[in-house]
Structure formats: structure tokens, C-alpha cells
Amino acid sequence: MFKRSILPVLAVLGVIIALWYATCIPMNAAWTIQQLERSGETMTTTEHIVDSWSQERPRLPAPHQVAAELWDTTVMKSVTSKKSLVYHGWITLSATLLGFGIGTTLGVLLAIGIVHSRTMDMSVMPWAIVSQTIPIIAIAPMIIVVLYSVGVQGLLPKAVISAYLSFFPVVVGMVKGLRSPDAMQLDLLRTYSASNAQRLWLLRLPASVPYLFASLKIGVAASLVGAIVGELPTGAVRGLGARLLAGSYYGQTVQIWSALFAAAILAAGLVILVGLIERMTLRKMGERP
């Protein structure tokens, strides 16, 4: 079972890495040729290839360079150092988690409102949809400027952007989940003269749990994107977004790529964590193994 699931993944990974190395050669060759022309030296093809994988500032860094940088900036640096990706990752992660919490709470509350009130269904849902059609890159600076002008800065503005991205999948999933009980399940509660609150708590909410988790997996990844985007327009010096930005200012492609990978690893970790909590919760709720 383990072998069957891991082998295809490894095969795909191998292909990607091979393609990556291959792409490095034409991408980085131009710079080498320029240097050679200036100095008048020549290189064999093999030397060309090796050179394209070991430049200081390549256009496209080779996988082992990114891996070495990742190793160097995580394991080899103290976590309080400004050079540590763990430090920057934590800054971004804390904004992500706060934003995810706010977004999820807001999403669940909105969904409960939408399911219980026709007015809210008609009025809130269209706006929620419109909100997602505006590119976050356009809104993020405005949110940060507006919040800055009322004296809010630091973690919260990033968390707000992150919440802005994560509430929507939660609203959509929860509305569907809260509406999933069928007429018979609802009638059953009517025969007991159950109150609205009892119907929500004993039927609609438990029935929506599987839908909630599907949304949370999308929401947590969106939250991370939101937190990173929130770090870009501030010229922040801390966080994965700041590392991306600084890397591109100074042409440090290796740094950009390692920050990208750190973000991807973080996102995967968060999604896997949500998946684990989902498994545990659904198992407790009597899911068939």
C-alpha cells in the first residue's frame, strides 16, 4: 500500500528534477558565454553544463543549490536569526493562522446566517462572490494603508488579508453542509418540537462537518497566500513575503526559490495537518473506516 502510493510520487518528482536541471542549461548559459567573450577563454560542453548548475546568481538556480540554501537557512541558522527561514516562516505562519481563524469563524457565522435568513441569503452571498473576483494584489495595499492610517500594523493587517481569502471557501462549503440534512431528518426534529438552536446544534452543524473540512483545506492554503501577499506591499523586512521581495531586489534567485519552497512546504504541512484532524474527527463521528 505504502509502496504503491509512494512510487508514482517519486517517479514524478524524478522527472521534474531532471527537467529542472535540463532547463538550467539554456537559462544560465547566456551569462557564461558573455563572461567567456569578455575574457577570451573557451569551455567544453561539459564545463558549460557544470557551470550552468553552479553559478552564484543564476537566472534559474539548480535544485541542489536551492536545497543547499534551504538547509543552510533552516538547520544551520539559529531560529532567532534574521537569516533563518524558520524565523521568517514563523512570522508568516502566525499571520496565516490568525487570518485562518478569523476567516473560518467569519465564514461559519455568515453561512449560519445565510441558511437561516432569506434576506441574508439574497444580500450576503452575491457580495461574498464579488469579493472574490477582485484580485487580492489590488486590494492588499489598500487594506494595509487603511489599517495603518488608523494605527493598526504588524500582524493584524496581514491576517485580515489572509482572512479575506479564506472565508469564502468556508462560506460556500458550510452553506452546502448546513443545507445537507434531508426533509426527513428535519421532520424528525419537528416531531420533537425542537427549537431552531437545537436543530442547528444537533443536526445542521454535525451534518456539515465533512463539508467544513473540505473547505478548511482550501482555506488554509489560501490563508498562507494571503499572508505572503500581505507582506509584499509593506516593504516588510520579516516573513517569507519579505524574503521573496528582498531576493528579487538584489537578484538573489537562490533566496527567492528557497523562500518559495519554504512557502510550499509550509502550505503542504498545513493541508496535511488539517487532513489529519479531519480523519480523527470523522473517525470519532462514526465514519466507516
Partner 1 sequence: MIISAKNLDLTFQTNDGPVHALKDVNLEIEKGEFVSFIGPSGCGKTTFLRCIAGLEQPTGGQISVNGMTPDEARKARAYGYVFQAAGLYPWRTIGGNIKLPLEIMGFSKAEQAERVARVMELVDLSGFEKKFPWQLSGGMQQRASIARALAFDADILLMDEPFGALDEIVRDHLNEQLLALWARTEKTIGFVTHSIPEAVYLSTKIVVMSPRPGRITDVIDSPLPRERPLDIRDSKEFIEIAHRVRDGLRAGHQGDV
Spatial CB neighbours of 239, under 8 Å, sequence gap ≥ 6: 88, 91, 92, 95, 158, 227, 228, 231
Question: Least separation, in Å, of the C-beta of 284 and partner 1?
Answer: 9
The residue range among 32-40, 184-192, 219-227, 259-267 that interacts with partner 1, by the rule CB under 8 A, is 184-192
Q: Does 194 bind partner 1 (CB under 8 A)?
A: yes
Residues 201-230, one symbol each (x = binds partner 1 by CB under 8 A, - = not), give -xx--xx-x---------------------
C-alpha 231/C-alpha 12 separation (Å) is 32
Select 3 or 284, whichever has its Cβ closest to partner 1. Answer: 284
Q: Does 16 bind partner 1 (CB under 8 A)?
A: no
Q: Does 35 bind partner 1 (CB under 8 A)?
A: no
Question: Least separation, in Å, of the C-beta of 120 and partner 1?
Answer: 26
Can you list the alpha helix ranges (DSSP code H) found in 150-192?
A: 155-178, 183-191
Q: Does 188 bind partner 1 (CB under 8 A)?
A: yes
Q: Does 197 bind partner 1 (CB under 8 A)?
A: no
Question: Least separation, in Å, of the C-beta of 118 and partner 1?
Answer: 20
Q: Does 286 bind partner 1 (CB under 8 A)?
A: yes
The residue range among 2-10, 56-64, 187-195, 260-268 that interacts with partner 1, by the rule CB under 8 A, is 187-195
Q: Residue 240: CA atoms inside 13 Å, Cβ hemisphere, count? A: 28
Q: Are the C-beta atoms of 282 and 210 separated by less than 8 Å?
A: yes
C-alpha 267/C-alpha 12 separation (Å) is 20
Q: Does 192 bind partner 1 (CB under 8 A)?
A: yes
Select 38 or 190, whichever has its Cβ closest to partner 1. Answer: 190
Number of H helices, E strands in the chain: 12, 0
Give CA separation, 74 vs 71, 83, 129, 272, in Å.
5, 9, 39, 21
Scan for cell 524565523, then name that residue.
87
Q: Does 285 bind partner 1 (CB under 8 A)?
A: yes
Q: Does 280 bind partner 1 (CB under 8 A)?
A: no
The residue range among 24-32, 70-78, 104-112, 183-191 that interacts with partner 1, by the rule CB under 8 A, is 183-191
Spatial CB neighbours of 259, under 8 Å, sequence gap ≥ 6: 85, 88, 240, 243, 244, 247
Spatial CB neighbours of 123, under 8 Å, sequence gap ≥ 6: none
Q: Does 33 bind partner 1 (CB under 8 A)?
A: no
C-alpha 224/C-alpha 166 separation (Å) is 9
Q: Does 151 bind partner 1 (CB under 8 A)?
A: no
Contact residues toward partner 1 (CB under 8 A) are: 184-185, 187-194, 198, 202-203, 206-207, 209, 285-286, 288
